[in-house]
């Protein structure tokens, strides 16, 4: 079950995701808050912009948050992202010791936080954050649907 605060986090992540629309990147946004609810970082996908296969929104936001916090351990932090994290991002979230993950759209093809795999809640891993999925899922899916429809439209011309 999610809260109004979770919805506000996903709305913030959606606003951040819109930054990717200026590039060829899939519009995914991520926000990291510290234990007191202060925003440490926000990032959108930048794989195309940076020519970097690891430049997912979550990875970029975790890097920025750790740099601001002055430590790699993000105990007490919350990461909010518009789309269910992939295996790479789920692994990084666990390694960063993020305490809570909130995401919007489920990703049945690559999702690693409940859809295809559940990396973060696997009993075999040492760090298992709280996970809340499907928050404002429809709005998150709509942003992706529009992006891919526009992309197909441009490719047809």
Question: So which residues are the catalytic ones?
Answer: 58
Find out whether 154 is annotated in a ligand binding site. Answer: no
Find out whether 140 is annotated in a ligand binding site. Answer: no
Angstrom distance (rounded) from CA 71 to CA 77: 12
Q: Which 3 state secondary structure label does DSSP give 93?
A: helix
For the record, the structure tokens of 119 come out as 């990396």
Find out whether 89 is annotated in a ligand binding site. Answer: yes
Q: In angstroms, what CA-CA distances link 149 with 2, 22, 55, 143, 153?
A: 30, 15, 23, 10, 6
Question: Can you say which residues are annotated as belonging to the binding site?
Answer: 56, 86, 89
Question: Can you say which residues are annotated as belonging to the binding site for Zn(2+)?
Answer: 56, 86, 89
């Amino acid at each position: 079950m999610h809260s109004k605060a979770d919805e506000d986090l996903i709305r913030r992540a959606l606003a951040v995701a819109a930054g990717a629309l200026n590039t060829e990147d899939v519009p995914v946004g991520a926000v990291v808050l510290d234990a007191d609810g202060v925003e440490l970082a926000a990032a959108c996908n930048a794989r195309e912009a940076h020519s970097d296969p690891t430049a997912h929104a979550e990875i970029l936001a975790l890097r920025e948050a750790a740099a601001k916090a002055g430590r790699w351990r993000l105990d007490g932090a919350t990461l909010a992202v518009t789309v269910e994290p992939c295996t790479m991002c789920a692994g990084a979230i666990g390694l960063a010791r993020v305490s809570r993950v909130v995401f919007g759209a489920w990703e049945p093809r690559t999702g690693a936080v409940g859809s295809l795999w559940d990396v973060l809640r696997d009993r075999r891993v040492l760090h298992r954050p709280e996970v809340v999925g499907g928050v404002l899922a429809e709005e998150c899916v709509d942003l992706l649907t529009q992006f891919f429809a526009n992309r197909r439209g441009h490719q047809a011309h």
